[in-house]
Amino acid sequence: MLKRLIFAALLLSPSMALAQSQKPNDAQIAHIAYTAGVLDISAAKQALAKSSSAEVKAFAGEMVRDHQAVNDKALALVKKLNVTPEDNATSQALSKAAATKLAELGKLSGAAYDRAYVENEVAYHKTVNGALKDTLIPDSQNAELKSLLQTGLSLFTAHQQHAEHLAMSLAK
Partner 1 sequence: MSYRVSAWPLLGALFLAWANPLPAEAARQVIEIRDMAFGKAPAGLKAGDTILWKNMDMFRHTATDRKGSFDLDLAPGAQGEITLRDPGVLEVICRYHPNMVLRLTIRKAD
User: What are the residues binding partner 1 (CB under 8 A)?
Assistant: 58, 62, 65-66, 69-70, 73, 151, 154-155, 157-158, 161-162, 165
* Closest among 45, 43, 59, 50 to 128, alpha carbons compared: 43
User: From the CB of 8, what's the least distance to partner 1, in Å?
Assistant: 23
CA distance 50 to 88: 31
User: Least distance in Å: CB of 72 to partner 1?
Assistant: 8
Residue 75 or 99: which CB sits closer to partner 1? Answer: 75
Give Cα separations from 1 to 6, 89, 90, 102, 153 (angstroms). 9, 24, 21, 18, 22
84 or 147: whose CB is closer to partner 1? 147
Least separation in angstroms between CB 39 and partner 1: 19
Rounded Cα–Cα distance for residues 64 and 44 (Å): 6
Cβ-based nearer residue to partner 1, 18 or 155: 155
Phi, psi angle pair for 3, to nearest 5°: -60, -40
- When the beta carbons of 23 and 146 are compared against partner 1, the nearer one is 146
